């Protein structure tokens, strides 16, 4: 399987990783988006991802305030993996915090990860009290101290991403990634300067919600009432209401048509487009609440879309730029 460099680092990752938001244990506003995933199921999900060739996992402090990190570490150990066998990414929650907290709280993150090092440490969103420069200097200090391997950001716009890159470059380090929302139903990074800046600076885009919270699977179009059985705010989101489903249906129809031609699932086609349309710049982290979801996502690693497939999907989804 062909690996990709994470930004301008020496870390190599598969085009798809596993997002671990769903391991939050139902705690907090963020964690309540998902049903509780029992540890045995989390073990099975991680094992399925590993069996499918996925070599990296993304979690965060705010995902259950350490629950996701602890669950991921336990699942990796249950699968027989040790530090260095996989790539682990996590994120610092900046709201109402200063850059100094990055240094003070790193031991907590490492404790939750229970023996697994932090290969990629990301600022979760641009909401810190401290400046971008102060945050990047704190990350650079952690790299210099050997507490983390590389630095990234999440949900940063183009100008803030460029400022982060410049601040780290002054310390002799690259900004390796920006984790943002991106899918066939949300292509705003192509029109707001984020993707262009990433290509110019050699920064990897990590796409979260690459299946648009499951919309691209088509299951909510087949059964609109299904969303009412799901926890969290999806039932109130516009994309899951009748008008939103009508707007995205043409995209889902083309995704299904291409999936049928390849003997693949719609979700696999949607994931393959995200990680193939822009070359090596974009990777993705689909989540999974069942082992079969992780197995299906990993199957997208072996799906090669044709230039015609990519162009059709581009054309039908341009309304979401």
- How far apart are the C-alpha atoms of 140 and 123, rounded to whole Å? 12
DSSP sequence for 184-208: TTB-GGGTSSHHHHHHHHTPEEEEE
3-state helix, strand, coil in the chain (%, to 5): 50, 15, 35
- Token pair recorded at residue 287: 């989540």
Element (H, E) at 292: helix 291-299
- How far apart are the C-alpha atoms of 24 and 65, rounded to whole Å? 8
Instruction: Starting at the earlier edge strand, list the strands of the sheet with 118-123.
Output: 18-19, 56-58, 87-92, 118-123, 148-154, 175-181, 204-208, 282-284
**Going by C-beta distance under 8 Å and a sequence separation of 6 or more, which residues neighbour residue 164?**
123, 132, 135, 136, 153, 156, 175
Cβ atoms of 171 and 195 within 8 Å: the answer is no
DSSP three-state, residue 124: coil
Q: Tell me the CA end-to-end span of the chain in Å, nearest whole number.
A: 31
Residue whose pair of structure tokens reads 């199921």 in the numeric block: 41
- Token pair recorded at residue 37: 């995933």
Per annotation, catalytic residue among 63, 121, 182, 208:
63
- How far apart are the C-alpha atoms of 271 and 287, rounded to whole Å? 12
63 has catalytic annotation: yes
- Token pair recorded at residue 238: 């516009």
Cβ atoms of 90 and 58 within 8 Å: the answer is yes
- How far apart are the C-alpha atoms of 34 and 231, rounded to whole Å? 6
Q: Which residues are catalytic?
A: 63
């Amino acid at each position: 399987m062909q690996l990709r460099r994470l930004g301008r680092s020496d870390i190599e990752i598969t085009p798809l990783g596993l997002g671990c938001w769903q391991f939050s244990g139902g705690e907090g506003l963020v964690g309540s988006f998902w049903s509780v995933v029992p540890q045995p199921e989390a073990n099975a999900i991680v094992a399925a991802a590993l069996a499918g060739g996925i070599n990296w996992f993304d979690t965060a402090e705010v995902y259950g305030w350490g629950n996701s990190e602890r669950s991921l570490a336990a699942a990796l150990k249950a699968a027989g993996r040790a530090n260095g066998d996989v790539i682990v990414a996590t994120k610092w929650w900046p709201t109402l915090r200063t850059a100094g907290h990055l240094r003070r709280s790193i031991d907590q993150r490492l404790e939750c990860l229970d023996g697994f090092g932090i290969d990629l440490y990301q600022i979760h969103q641009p909401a810190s009290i401290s400046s971008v420069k102060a945050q990047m200097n704190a990350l650079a200090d952690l790299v210099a101290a050997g507490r983390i391997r590389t630095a990234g950001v999440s949900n940063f716009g183009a100008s803030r991403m460029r400022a982060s890159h410049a601040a780290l470059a002054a310390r002799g380090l690259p900004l390796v990634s920006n984790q943002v929302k991106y899918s066939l139903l949300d292509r705003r990074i192509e029109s707001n300067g984020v993707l262009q800046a990433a290509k110019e600076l050699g920064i990897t885009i990590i796409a979260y919600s690459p299946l648009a919270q499951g919309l691209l699977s088509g299951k909510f179009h087949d059964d609109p009432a299904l969303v009412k059985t799901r926890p969290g705010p999806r039932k109130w989101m516009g994309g899951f209401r009748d008008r939103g489903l009508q707007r995205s249906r043409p995209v889902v129809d083309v995704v299904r048509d291409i999936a049928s031609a390849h003997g693949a699932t719609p979700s696999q086609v949607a994931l393959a487009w995200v990680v193939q349309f822009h070359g090596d710049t974009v990777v993705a982290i689909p989540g999974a609440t069942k082992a079969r979801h992780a197995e299906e996502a990993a199957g997208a690693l072996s799906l090669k879309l044709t230039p015609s497939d990519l162009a059709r999907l581009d054309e039908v989804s341009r309304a979401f730029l």
